[in-house]
Structure 1
């Protein structure tokens, strides 16, 4: 597996934090699931706001 070469300060994971490829992939999946959950919450809040119409 090719290891990312960009610095962690660029918002990418520092691959050296992980003991093997499997640990790296598990962390990526966990982060993606968390991001998807936050996105779903945001979408629900937007839909609720749109359904409530405008405020006075």
Structure 2
């Protein structure tokens, strides 16, 4: 496993220490790994949303009204539930 050394201001170091001391995380490494994992997941969600928006923009305007679109979505949702 690769190693990474980082510098933190005293108040941030204290915060990390508190998180590990209270048992919320097994170690400082586990805490930082969790933060990175959360950031990766957030970045993936943003990329997924950006892709949906790009697809929507490139698909052009719909001939359906907003009411028709919502009704269609509700029908699809009720069929999968």
TM-score normalized by structure 2? 0.52
Over aligned residues, Cα RMSD in angstroms?
1.3
User: Which ranges in structure 2 are unaligned for 5 or more consecutive residues?
Assistant: 1-12, 64-81
Quick check: which has more Rg, 1 or 2? 2
Considering Cα pairs closer than 8 Å and 6+ residues apart, tell me whether 1 or 2 has the greater RCO. 1
Bigger fraction of residues in helix: 2
TM-score normalized by structure 1? 0.74
Aligned residues: 46
Hey, which bits of structure 1, 4+ residues long, moved more than 2 A? none
User: Which ranges in structure 1 are unaligned for 5 or more consecutive residues?
Assistant: 5-14
